[in-house]
C-alpha cells in the first residue's frame, strides 16, 4: 500500500470516528429524551437503564398529561405568542434600522452603526437584577409583554448587525434603479430589499425565534403566575414539582425542542440560497 493511500485511509477512518463521536455526544441525550417520553412510568421505574423503545409499548400518556393536566397547552400558546411577536418586531425594526445605518446618511450614523453590538456585551445575568427591581416598582413584572420587550432588547442588536452586514452586500444600483423606476424609500425596501434579503431575514427570524423560545432566565425571574408561564419556565416548574415523573419532564422537553428543529429544517434551504445572483454583470 502506498504512503498516499495509507494517509487517505487514515484520514477517512479518523473522519468517521469523529463523526460518530459527535453524533453520540449530540444525539444521544436527544434520543434518550424522546425514548423516555414515550415510556410509561412503570417501564421507566422497572428498567431504568433500558436504551430501547418497544414499538408496541409506545405510550402517549405523558404528552397528554403534560398538555392537559400540567398546563402545557397554555405554556405552548404563551411561548408561541411571545416568540412570534418578538420575531415580528425584531425583524421589522432590524430591517428598517439596518437599512438606515447602511444606506442613509445622518448625523451619528457611523456611531450608531458601530455601537449596535455594544448593547450585546452586557450579559443577561447583569441586567436581570436591575430590570427585576425596575419592573417590580413599575408593577410590570409579571407580564409576558415585558418579557417580549426584554427579548427584543436582547435580539435586536444581533438582528441589526446581521441585516446590516447583508444589506451592505446588496448592490446600491438596484436601489437606484428602483428609485428612478418610481419607488419611494419605503417602496425600495418593501419591493426590492426585502425580497432580495429573504435568506438574511429567514436567518434573523430563526435566530430571534430560538432565543425567545428557549429563553429561561428572564422568564424564570419575571413570571409568577402559572397562566403566564412560557415553555422553558413550565419545564422547570414541572421538574421541580413534588410528583417527579421523568417521562413527563421528557415529554415537556420534547415539546420545547422539536419546534425549533422543525423550523430549522424548514428554513435551512432559505439560509443557504443567495438571491442576488443575476442582478449584476456576473
Partner 1 sequence: MALSRVDIKVKDGEFCVLLGPSGCGKSTLLNIIAGLIPQDQGTVLLDGQSVDSLAPRDRDIAMVFQSYALYPHMSVSQNLSFGLRMRGTPKPTIRESVQWVARLLGIEDLLDRKPRELSGGQRQRVAMGRALVRRPKLFLLDEPLSNLDARLRANVRLELKQMHHQIQGTMIYVTHDQVEAMTLGDKVVVMRDGKVHQIGPPEAIYSYPSNTFVATFIGSPEINLYRGMLVRKDGLPHFQGAGFSLNLGRLQIDLKEGEVEVGIRPEDIGTGQAESMDLRAKVEMISYVGSEKYIHARLGDEALTFCAPKDTALQPGNVVHVAVDPGRVHIFHKGRRI
Nearest residue (CB) to partner 1, 140 versus 177: 177
Q: Which stretch binds partner 1 (CB under 8 A): 75-83, 140-148, 152-160, 269-277?
A: 269-277
| Contacting partner 1 within 189-248 (CB under 8 A) | 192, 195-196
Residue 275 binding partner 1, by CB under 8 A: yes
Residue 181 binding partner 1, by CB under 8 A: yes
* Alpha-carbon span 137 to 155, nearest angstrom: 25
Number of neighbouring beta carbons within 10 Å of residue 227:
10
Closest contact distance (angstroms) between CB of 180 and partner 1 is 5
Nearest residue (CB) to partner 1, 144 versus 163: 163
Binder to partner 1 among 182, 225, 240, 272 (CB under 8 A)?
182
Residue 108 binding partner 1, by CB under 8 A: no
Residue 180 binding partner 1, by CB under 8 A: yes
Q: Which stretch binds partner 1 (CB under 8 A): 3-11, 179-187, 208-216, 239-247?
A: 179-187
Name the residues that contact partner 1, by CB under 8 A: 171, 173-174, 176-184, 187, 192, 195-196, 275-282
Amino acid at each position: 500500500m502506498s504512503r498516499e493511500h495509507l494517509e487517505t485511509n487514515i484520514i477517512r477512518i479518523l473522519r468517521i470516528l469523529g463523526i460518530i463521536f459527535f453524533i453520540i455526544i449530540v444525539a444521544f441525550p436527544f434520543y434518550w429524551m424522546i425514548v423516555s417520553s414515550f415510556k410509561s412510568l412503570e417501564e421507566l421505574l422497572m428498567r431504568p437503564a433500558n436504551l430501547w423503545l418497544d414499538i408496541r409499548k409506545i405510550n402517549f400518556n405523558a404528552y397528554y398529561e403534560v398538555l392537559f393536566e400540567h398546563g402545557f397547552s397554555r405554556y405552548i400558546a404563551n411561548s408561541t405568542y411571545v416568540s412570534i411577536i418578538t420575531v415580528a418586531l425584531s425583524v421589522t425594526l432590524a430591517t428598517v434600522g439596518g437599512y438606515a445605518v447602511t444606506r442613509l446618511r445622518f448625523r451619528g450614523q457611523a456611531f450608531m452603526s458601530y455601537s449596535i453590538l455594544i448593547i450585546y456585551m452586557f450579559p443577561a445575568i447583569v441586567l436581570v437584577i436591575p430590570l427585576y427591581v425596575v419592573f417590580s416598582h413599575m408593577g410590570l413584572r409579571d407580564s409576558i409583554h415585558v418579557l417580549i420587550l426584554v427579548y427584543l432588547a436582547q435580539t435586536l442588536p444581533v438582528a441589526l448587525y446581521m441585516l446590516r452586514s447583508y444589506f451592505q452586500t446588496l448592490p446600491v444600483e438596484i436601489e437606484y434603479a428602483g428609485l428612478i423606476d418610481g419607488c419611494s424609500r419605503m417602496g425600495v425596501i418593501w419591493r426590492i430589499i426585502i425580497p432580495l434579503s429573504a435568506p438574511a431575514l429567514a436567518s434573523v427570524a430563526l435566530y430571534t425565534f430560538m432565543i425567545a423560545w428557549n429563553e429561561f432566565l428572564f422568564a424564570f425571574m419575571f413570571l409568577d403566575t402559572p397562566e403566564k408561564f412560557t415553555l422553558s419556565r413550565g419545564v422547570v416548574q414541572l421538574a421541580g414539582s413534588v410528583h417527579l415523573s421523568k417521562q413527563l419532564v421528557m415529554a415537556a422537553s420534547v415539546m420545547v425542542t422539536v419546534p425549533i428543529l422543525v423550523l430549522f429544517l424548514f428554513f435551512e434551504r432559505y439560509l443557504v440560497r443567495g438571491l442576488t445572483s443575476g442582478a449584476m454583470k456576473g
